[in-house]
Amino acid sequence: MGRADIGARLRVGTRALVTLLILTAVEVPVAFRVPRPLPWLILLNLADAALIVWYFMHIADLWRPGED
Amino acid sequence: MAAHVAAHPRYRRLDLRRLGLWLFLLSEGFLFSALIAARYYLLGLQRPEGLNQPLGLAITVVLLASSLTAYRAETAIAGGDRPLFLRNTLATVALGLLFLAGVGVEWAQAFAHFPPTRPVGTVFFTLTGMHALHVLSGVVLLAGVYLHGRRGRYGPGAFWPVEGAVKYWHFVDVVWVFIYPTLYLVTA
């Protein structure tokens, strides 16, 4: 992996974090202002978890045997 | 297939390690799922009063940020950039310790509002305590990775301990993503 590849991957990580922070910031007003917020909170949390599992934990590597 | 495996024994070992780690994390997920289910069983959709909402949000942001530094550390060592790897591993450890300090402050305040003998106290201290224990073990793992990294271990193609520790750290983050709203936000 070259420097350009590292830079590209780091940018992907930064974008994932920004999205996570936005989703978390949305959770608070949803919880306090939306009536019956549970379904919305579950959706937001699932989106958060999916972002982490896909971009940070590289779950797709499980289906790409032999790749680092 | 057999010839392929014989030609690439390291890759096969790596695949098995990854699968084993994911299965371990899945089993840990069941543990936290049970604890979260217990919260809804004991408290229903009632939001506990007296929680420090700004602090809860702040430690959530800290833990999310630590996932980025952990990701950067793994990416850096995969690309052979050791200084970047060391800086980001150390930053992840520091953010983990900051998160634990925040939980400590929350515990000190929570004892006054809901002692562990009440259902709400049981839920709060069990969930946050079990999670904090996992954060602490992640910090210890990452500190070990940092020390080994300083001695020159790990490099492109040989960084499984880094990958394993970082994946565990992300898992701890995923768990908190569910614990935070479960404790601080959910209401009827």
ipTM score: 0.91
Taking the CA of residue A35 and the nearest CA in chain B, the distance in Å comes to 8
B65/A18 Cα distance (integer angstroms): 9
For B46-54, what is the mean pLDDT?
A: 88
Token digits for B41?
Answer: 């069983």
Amino acid at B77: I
Tell me which residues of chain A have a C-beta less than 8 Å from any C-beta of chain B: 1-3, 5-6, 9-10, 13-14, 16-17, 20-21, 24, 27-28, 30-32, 36-38, 41, 44-45, 48-49, 52-53, 55-57, 59, 61-62, 65-68
> For residue B129, what pLDDT is reported?
96
For B123-132, what is the mean pLDDT?
A: 95
Is A52's CB within 8 Å of B185's CB?
A: no
- Contact yes or no for A4/B79 (Cβ under 8 A): no
pTM to 2 decimal places: 0.91
CA B112, B118, B119, B123 torsion-angle sign: positive
Task: Check pLDDT > 90 for residue B1.
Answer: no
- Contact yes or no for A54/A60 (Cβ under 8 A): yes
pLDDT along chain A (68 residues), means of 10: 81 96 96 92 96 94 66
Q: What angle do CA B121, B123, B129 make, to 5 degrees?
A: 90
Residue among B102, B103, B124, B100 nearest B113 (CA): B124
Task: Check pLDDT > 80 for residue B176.
Answer: yes
For B35-41, what is the mean pLDDT?
A: 94
Q: Over the stretch B87-121, which tens digit does the pLDDT of each residue have?
A: 999 999 999 999 999 999 999 988 888 887 888 89
Strand pairing partners for B155?
B158
Token digits for B122?
Answer: 């049981």
A47/B23 Cα distance (integer angstroms): 21
Q: Over the stretch B6-34, which tens digit does the pLDDT of each residue have?
A: 555 555 777 888 899 999 999 999 999 99
> For residue B10, what pLDDT is reported?
55
